[in-house]
Amino acid sequence: MLWLARLVVALISFTVHELAHALAALALGDTTAREAGRLTLNPFRHTEWFGLLAGVFMGIGWSRPAPIRPHRMTVGERLGGLLAVLAGPLASLALMFGGLGLLNVLAPASGSPAGGLLRVLVRFNLMLALLNILPFYPLDGYRAVRFLLPLRAAAGWERASGWTTAVLGIGLALLVVLPDSVIAAHVVPFVNTVLRVLPGI
């Protein structure tokens, strides 16, 4: 049942996250995502299958990045790119807080299947937002740093993309291969500390 809940939540969450990127870019004058057919609620247009499986079985995953071309935006490449990139994590946070609000409304029935699904939605989108603010390629945090840096520093940051991807890959691999005791001792306490600030989950 947990895997089924994560599947439903992942499809919804990835769709909202990537659609937010696409809509923000379109609002700023960039039609690339619309031309690529990504301005849609069809979850399979946004799905990266390995990322979806990771989301189902590990509780954290990733989707297929919505294409954006900041040089086509009317507000300038750096500002427009930054706003479009941040739209995804902000949409994930909006889903998280929306789920928290519904949990508070449904407090008497929080132990129901609907309450369980909402708790998965809240946790999944919290993790999705936290993952995406990490400064590793191809995550949103990496792209946000690139738009914040001066031109010469941004070029150096792009050259470091391979290294950041390697760090990200090693981190995800460690989550898979580390013994449960190590994860329970070091990873779970951190996650629980973050979750404790969110009442009701």
Could you confirm whether 18 is annotated as catalytic? yes
Task: Provide the token pair at 69.
Answer: 């071309």
Q: What is the pLDDT of residue 6?
A: 93
Q: What is the pLDDT of residue 9?
A: 96
Of the residues 18, 35, 48, 158, only one is catalytic, namely 18
Task: Provide the token pair at 134.
Answer: 């990490």
Task: Provide the token pair at 32.
Answer: 């690339």
The domains of the chain are located at 2-196
Task: Provide the token pair at 87.
Answer: 């739209």
Residues listed for the chain: 201
Note down pLDDT in tens along the chain; length 201 residues: 889 999 999 999 999 999 999 999 999 999 999 999 999 999 999 999 998 998 898 888 889 999 999 999 999 999 999 999 999 999 999 999 999 888 888 766 556 788 889 989 998 999 899 889 999 998 999 999 999 999 889 889 999 889 988 888 887 777 767 666 766 666 667 666 665 655 555
Distance CA 122, CA 125 (A): 5
Distance CA 71, CA 63 (A): 24
Q: What is the pLDDT of residue 49?
A: 92
